[in-house]
Amino acid sequence: MIRTMIVDDDALVRLGLADLLDGDPGIEVVAQASDGLKAVEQAAAHRIDVALVDVRMPRMDGITATARLRALPHPPKVIILTTFDLDEYVYDALAAGADGFLLKDTDPAEILRAVHLVAAGSAMLHPTAARRLIDRYHAANQPETAAAKARLERLTPRERDVLTLLAHGDTNADIAARLAMRESTVKAHVSRVLTALEVTNRVQAALLARDAGLTT
C-alpha cells in the first residue's frame, strides 16, 4: 500500500485527488495539507511514501516544502502537481528533490501511474510541459559543463549506459530490457550512479547528464 499526502490550497482539488487516489486499491491517502508548512508537519507525524504538492500556496510554497520534505529523516517522494506548464519555479522544485512534475489536467490514469512509478523509485515528468521547463530554465541555471563531466568520470561504462537511458526517462524495467539485465541489477546500478554523482534522485541525475552532454 502506497501511503500518500495531498498538498494544495484548493479544497476542491484536494477532494478530487483524494477520491482519485483512494479509488486505487494500491494507494491510501493518509494526510492532506493546505500549504507547505502544514505538509511538513503532517509528513513528520505520518509515514508518507509519496506527496503530491502544488507549487503556489500560502505560508510555504511547494518549492520550499519539497526541500523541507526531502530533508526529513524518512523523506517522502514528491510529485509536483501544478496548473502552470511554464512556471519558472518548477525547475527549482525539481532541483530541490522532486521526483516528478505533472499538470493538473493530466489524465487521472496517468496521475495514478505516476504515484506507482515514483513510489517504486522511478521519475515521472509530463511528456511535453516538463521537457520545455527543464530545457528553458535548466539552461539558465546550468553549472559548469566541466564539473558535470568530472562527475561522470566516476562511473563505469555500464553505469554510463544506465544513466543515459535513465536520462531519457526509461524505467528500471525498460533499462533492463534494453541492456539485457535483470531489473534488480539495474536498481543496484542506479543506486551506485546516484551515489557517485552525489545526487538524491533520478531527475537530478538526468539533469547532470544533460549538463555533461551525455544526452541532448
* CATH (domain of 172): 1.10.10.10
Answer whether residue 29 shows pLDDT above 60: yes
Q: Which residues pair with 100 in a beta bridge?
A: 79, 124
Q: Is residue 216 part of a domain?
A: no
Asked whether the CA dihedral 41, 42, 46, 47 is positive or negative, the reply is negative
Whether residues 150 and 124 fall in one domain: no
* Long-range Cβ pairs for the range 109-115 (8 Å, 24+): 111/17, 111/20, 111/52, 111/81, 112/20, 112/21, 112/24, 112/27, 114/79, 115/2, 115/4, 115/21, 115/24, 115/27, 115/50, 115/52, 115/79
DSSP one-letter code for 104:
T
Q: Is residue 108 part of a domain?
A: yes
90: CATH: 3.40.50.2300
pTM: 0.69
Percentage of the chain lying above the pLDDT 70 cut: 86
pLDDT at 215: 65
Q: For residue 202, what pLDDT band results from cuts at 50, 70 and 90?
A: confident
Whether residues 148 and 194 fall in one domain: yes
C-alpha closest to that of 203 among 133, 108, 113: 133
Whether residues 130 and 150 fall in one domain: no
Phi, psi of 151 (to 5 degrees): -65, -40
- Torsion, Cα of 154, 156, 160, 162 (10° steps): -120
Q: How many CB atoms lie within 10 A of CB 22?
A: 12
Whether residues 7 and 84 fall in one domain: yes
Look at 36-40, 50-54, 76-80, 210-214 and tell me which has the smallest mean pLDDT.
Answer: 210-214
Whether residues 131 and 202 fall in one domain: no
3-state SS assignment for residue 89: helix
141-157: per-residue pLDDT in tens?
555 567 777 788 888 99
Whether residues 156 and 52 fall in one domain: no
Helix (H), strand (E), coil (C) string for 31-69 = EEECCHHHHHHHHHHCCCCEEEECCCCCCCCHHHHHHHH
Whether residues 79 and 53 fall in one domain: yes
The more confident residue out of 120 and 79 is: 79
Grid cell in block for residue 176: 533492463
CB 76 within 8 A of CB 51: yes
Whether residues 97 and 119 fall in one domain: yes
* Full residue range of the structural domain in which residue 35 is found: 2-138
If one counts the domains in the chain, the total is 2
Answer whether residue 112 shows pLDDT above 90: yes
Identify the domain boundary among 138, 167, 192. 138
Q: For residue 136, what pLDDT band results from cuts at 50, 70 and 90?
A: low
Whether residues 158 and 132 fall in one domain: no
pLDDT at 66: 93
Whether residues 115 and 16 fall in one domain: yes
